[in-house]
């Protein structure tokens, strides 16, 4: 099977320009692939570089070497060398990123925050809102809150709005950065179900999950980021 994501020898060194150009090598020789319908979980201690790798795949952090091949609109694009305009296209059509924090736009109702990725994908407003409501309901956000902007919601409620927004799209790749961090057991179970549904739909996922139980339930494979430690070079 042709992988959805194929990372070869990717590396990242941060250069602290405001601190005399101090160089902080984080990861090197990052090599793994993710097939359609597979969830790869990045493991390793705090500071090993898990989030940095997700951000490299999303094109937030520039790679200093290697390649990050991603299947995009029938082609393979190398995120490591892609132009910013191409990265925007990849984010529109191919890769979704679910972080644990919601960047809520003031005054936009929760239901519209969730529906928005579908509107961008040219789904009608009516259908987008219906799907958004169904997801919010599954994630136990009471209907009375749907019309309110999520900026006043609790941390866990905001996280669930964010999860709904991330999972509503039909994108073929999802990057999950601690999606269950502040959720209770019932909502963690919903996220595990949502991940299973995405697998059945052939979505390729890379996840960071600290909760052992959730990790065990969603991971098809673990990739140990400590083995990419740049300091060991
Ligand atoms: N923008 C940045 N500028 C400078 N250093 C950074 C930046 N982002 C990450 N780092 C450094 O890279 C290293 C890896 O960080 P990263 O967040 O990827 O680790 P992690 O494995 O996800 O950790 P955690 O499990 O604690 O979230 C850390 O030492 C961190 O300080």
Span from the CA of 52 to the centroid of ligand 1 (angstroms) = 6
Locate the ligand 1 atom nearest the alpha carbon of residue 61 and give its number.
Answer: 1
Domain boundary assignment for the chain? 103-170
Pocket probe mutation, ligand 1, options 13, 47, 58, 229, max atoms within 8 Å of Cβ: 47
Render pLDDT for 57-97 as a digit per residue (tens, 0 to 9): 999 999 999 999 999 999 999 999 999 999 999 999 999 99
Determine if ligand 1 sits within 6 Å of the CB of residue 229.
no
Determine if ligand 1 sits within 6 Å of the CB of residue 52.
yes
pLDDT over threshold 50, residue 232 = no
Q: What is the pTM of this model?
A: 0.93
Region 22-44: mean pLDDT is: 94
Confidence of residue 194 (pLDDT cuts 50, 70, 90): very high
Write down the pLDDT at residue 231: 66
Pocket probe mutation, ligand 1, options 14, 30, 222, max atoms within 8 Å of Cβ: 14
Average pLDDT value over all residues in the chain = 92
Span from the CA of 46 to the centroid of ligand 1 (angstroms) = 8
SS3 for the chain is CCCCEEEEEEEEEEEECCCCCEEEEEEEEEEEEECCCCEEEEECCCCCCHHHHHHHHHCCCCCCEEEEEEEECCEEEECCCCCHHHHHHHHHHCEEEECCCCCCCCCCCHHHHHHHHHHHCCCCHHHHHHHHHHHHHHCCCCHHHCCCCHHHCCHHHHHHHHHHHHHCCCCCEEEEECCCCCCCHHHHHHHHHHHHHHHHCCCEEEEECCCHHHHHHHCCEEEEHHHHEHHHC
Q: Are 91 and 58 in contact (CB under 8 A)?
A: yes
pLDDT over threshold 70, residue 233 = no
Determine if ligand 1 sits within 6 Å of the CB of residue 228.
no
Determine if ligand 1 sits within 6 Å of the CB of residue 101.
no
Residue whose token pair is 């057991």 = 185
Determine if ligand 1 sits within 6 Å of the CB of residue 51.
yes
Q: Kindly provide the ipTM of the predicted complex, given to two decimals.
A: 0.94
Render pLDDT for 90-146 as a digit per residue (tens, 0 to 9): 999 999 999 877 776 778 999 999 999 998 888 899 999 999 999 999 999 999 999
Span from the CA of 105 to the centroid of ligand 1 (angstroms) = 26
């Amino acid at each position: 099977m042709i992988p959805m994501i194929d990372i070869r020898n990717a590396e990242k060194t941060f250069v602290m320009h405001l601190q005399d150009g101090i160089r902080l090598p984080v990861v090197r020789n990052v090599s793994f692939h993710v097939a359609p319908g597979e969830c790869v979980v990045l493991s390793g201690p705090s500071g090993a570089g898990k989030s940095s790798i997700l951000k490299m795949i999303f094109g937030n952090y520039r790679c200093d070497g290697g390649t990050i091949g991603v299947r995009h609109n029938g082609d393979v694009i190398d995120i490591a060398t892609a132009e910013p305009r191409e990265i925007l296209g990849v984010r529109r059509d191919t890769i979704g990123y679910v972080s644990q924090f919601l960047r809520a736009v003031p005054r936009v109702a929760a239901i519209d925050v969730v529906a928005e990725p579908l509107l961008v994908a040219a789904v009608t407003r009516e259908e987008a809102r219906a799907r958004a409501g169904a997801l919010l309901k599954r994630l136990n956000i009471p209907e009375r809150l749907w019309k309110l902007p999520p900026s006043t919601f609790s941390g866990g409620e905001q996280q669930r709005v964010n999860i709904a927004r991330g999972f509503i799209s039909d994108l073929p790749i999802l990057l999950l950065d601690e999606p269950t961090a502040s959720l209770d057991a019932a909502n963690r179970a919903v996220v595990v179900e949502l991940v299973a549904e995405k697998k059945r739909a052939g979505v390729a996922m890379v996840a960071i999950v600290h909760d052992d139980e959730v990790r065990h339930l969603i991971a098809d494979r673990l990739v140990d980021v400590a083995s990419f430690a740049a300091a060991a070079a």
